[in-house]
Amino acid sequence: MTEEHFFELTKYERGLAEKGIKIIAGLDEAGRGPLAGPVAAGCVIFRAEGPFPEADDSKKLTPKKRDALFETIKEMSLGWGVGLADSVEIDRMNILNATYLAMRRAVENALKDASDRSGAIKPETILVDHVHVPKIEIPQLSITHGDALSVTIGAASILAKVTRDRLMEEYDKQYPGYGFAAHKGYGTAAHYAAIRELGISPIHRRTFLKNLSDHFAAEGGR
């Protein structure tokens, strides 16, 4: 990462520090679109003036780089947490509300971790990728494409994605044949073929598969 790019990624953090805000958090999700597995959210707490890891949008990074940054982010943070909402919760309350639930859980876990490590540290502002999460009392700053524009949100996106990817690799062992380790639950041709052959697994989002018969019919039927 170049010095210029890192400087640009800390623009929002520097702006908040200039306003006198001392503690901030980043919040982002991973896994809203897949057909299977949970939606995950990551929350990370930093001092507004830094230091920060060289974290960028998790989608731009290799798995090896994400794994390395996952450990760096935890070490450099004042507190961090991940929250999940599983496929049952997604089906019951829809993906948007389940994402909000995972985000609230991530914030709660980050606050607990910060309290355990450093005492009663609480962020004054949460930087969130694109959305405003209901039922969070801490003020939020929503930034569209925030995972690519804010180092704090980028760090949160890495926590969420690495956690979810590792979980899907474990599900691949528990439910072999679906290819979860490879596609992480997304709707690839291989994944649809596995569902057609094996049926729907316990971790599939049934509300995401309501039109599955139409998909197979478009492919020419069974």
Q: What is the pLDDT of residue 217?
A: 46
Radius of gyration (C-alpha) of the chain in whole angstroms: 18
Q: What is the pLDDT of residue 58?
A: 81
Average pLDDT over residues 98-127: 94
**Please, what are the domains in the chain?**
3-172 (3.30.420.10)
Which stretch of DSSP H or E encloses residue 185?
none
Distance CA 32, CA 23 (A): 28
pTM: 0.92
Distance CA 86, CA 90 (A): 6
| Tokens encoding 134 | 């209901």
Classified as helix, coil or strand, 28 is: strand
Whether 27 and 133 have beta carbons less than 8 Å apart is answered as yes
pLDDT band at 118 (very low <50, low <70, confident <90, very high): confident
Which stretch of DSSP H or E encloses residue 24?
strand 23-30
Q: What is the pLDDT of residue 220?
A: 43
In whole numbers, what is the pLDDT of the chain averaged over residues?
93
Q: What is the pLDDT of residue 57?
A: 77
